[in-house]
Amino acid sequence: MISMCAGDITVQFDRNGSRTFKKTGLIDWVGKPIMVLFDSFKFNFDLEGRIQRIDGFPSPQSWDWIQRTMANDWIYYDRVWVPGALGVPGALSVPAELIGDSAWAVNGRADLPALHGHDGLQRPYVRAAFDAFDRLIHAFRNLLVRMPELRYESGEAVQDEDVRRCWEFLGKAARNDRRQLQKTADRLHEIHGQMMVLPPDAIRVDYRVILVKVMDGCINACGFCSVRGKAEFAVRNREDIDRQIAALAEVYGADLYNYNSVVFGECDALAAPEIEYAAKRAFEGFHCGESYHTGSNLLLFSTNQSFLDQPDSAFEMLEGLPFEKIYINVGWEAATDEALSRLGKQQTAAEVFSGMGKAGTINRNSRKIKISGNFILAAGFECESIVNAIQNTRYCGQLYLSPLQGKSNREQTLKDFYAIRNEVSTDVRVHLYTMQRM
């Protein structure tokens, strides 16, 4: 690690974080950020000088932090949030148990019922952190005017190469105030549009993904869906895919080194005809094989019908892609005709069973393709039908349970979650779906 001081600011390079996105242990940040110590806070900047994470809250919130996405959304990470009386004897409320991660990611927009009432982003010490960030940008700009002598934290004079590196970073960071960060997010949305929800498997990489749209909208128009977006269903051609990849590579710049995962949008990407072309171009254009992080991942959604329609040759093509893992998330939502009808889901229970059976077969036999599925939790929906569907189809793999907004409270969600998880075999992993957007 290289640590340099300029006035009351300390800049640290080469403080390597986790390569596998794990937030446990002595080092719980991920990737290779540039860290700045200022005003009791620790600020993590990306390699293009954009703020990414702020740590340093007072006790007892000292385990918490806030983190910014490239879409300029701030998310509060809480390790120890306990949502009151669970109403489920013996149930564990730790995030790893429920969502498969070691911290709750609270966005204040589409949080799980278990997180309702969590006011993390509105807390006074979070506002103090934002104010400190504004002062830090101002301090960077003052340093660039005064150009004081830099010193290593040990007190020694700084070598010329490190002086150049530090001033180069400060020049980038000084430009990235809150207004500029929003401009960068706006530029991303100009390039590919918004995606209202990321595939749930994106939690595996802390939602640090690059979005490329190979299609827009969704072939379905399910009555319950609130995250489909406004775009009509349409596929994108090779020219548009090339345009997106070139423009995104320019925006992410040097910080591509901190990304190893790509999401194909939007809601039914498996139906797009240019997946193979887009995957190879994205892998190359974003240098996914040269990332700081271990492995590489491609993530996408599929409707159940599109998934069933794919011939064996389509999955053989996916197996041949350069990405190490391919995660496909299928929306099954319910396992009875009555429940599907109530949701306005345009499929039958028999089709759901066929999709689950096909997914289980792929998960048992594929080297890199992993199929996960979604089911809805809501008042009046019998979770026993989901258990029966799993058992009858021999499904194995990851399942995500999504509480229906406004129709599922904290106690019922947790009760249904444990009722399902405790009745299925160990080769079915069950978690709640935490929704983030891009």
Mean pLDDT by 10 residues, the chain (438 residues): 93 94 81 97 98 96 96 94 52 78 92 89 97 98 96 90 96 98 98 96 97 87 63 90 98 98 95 97 98 98 96 97 98 95 92 98 97 92 93 97 86 91 94 95
Residues 6+ apart with CB under 8 A from 10: 3, 4, 36, 37, 38, 153
Rounded Cα distance, 186 and 190, in Å? 6
Outline which parts of the chain fall under CATH 3.20.20.70.
193-432
Are 174 and 141 in contact, with CB atoms under 8 Å apart? yes
Paired tokens of 410: 């904290």
Question: Residue 89: its pLDDT value, please?
Answer: 43
| CA distances from residue 193 to 20, 211, 330 in whole angstroms, order as listed | 28, 9, 22
Rounded Cα distance, 67 and 74, in Å? 6
Question: Residue 87: its pLDDT value, please?
Answer: 42
Per CATH, is 193-432 categorized as 3.20.20.70? yes
What DSSP element (H or E) covers 162? helix 160-175
Question: Residue 225: its pLDDT value, please?
Answer: 61
| CA distances from residue 141 to 74, 220, 349, 357 in whole angstroms, order as listed | 24, 51, 61, 59
Question: Residue 81: its pLDDT value, please?
Answer: 79
Picking from 246, 222, 235, 203, the residue whose alpha carbon sits closest to that of residue 107 is 203
Question: Residue 224: its pLDDT value, please?
Answer: 62
Rounded Cα distance, 278 and 246, in Å? 12
Are 192 and 236 in contact, with CB atoms under 8 Å apart? no
Rounded Cα distance, 44 and 88, in Å? 39
Rounded Cα distance, 78 and 297, in Å? 26
Question: Residue 93: its pLDDT value, please?
Answer: 63
Residues 6+ apart with CB under 8 A from 204: 21, 297, 327
Paired tokens of 19: 């390569």
3-state secondary structure of 216: strand
Paired tokens of 17: 């974080």
Question: Residue 71: its pLDDT value, please?
Answer: 97
Conformation bin of residue 406: beta by default, left when phi > 0, alpha when psi is -120 to 50? left
Question: Residue 76: its pLDDT value, please?
Answer: 97
Q: In 107-231, where do the E strands start and end?
A: 151-152, 210-213, 215-216
Picking from 365, 362, 285, 301, the residue whose alpha carbon sits closest to that of residue 333 is 301
State the Cα angle at 420 between 419 and 424, rounded to 5°.
120
Rounded Cα distance, 407 and 85, in Å? 19
What DSSP element (H or E) covers 187? helix 178-192
Rounded Cα distance, 81 and 101, in Å? 13
Are 24 and 17 in contact, with CB atoms under 8 Å apart? no
Are 44 and 176 in contact, with CB atoms under 8 Å apart? no
Reported pTM: 0.95
The amino acid that residue 42 corresponds to is K
The amino acid that residue 192 corresponds to is H
Question: Residue 217: its pLDDT value, please?
Answer: 81
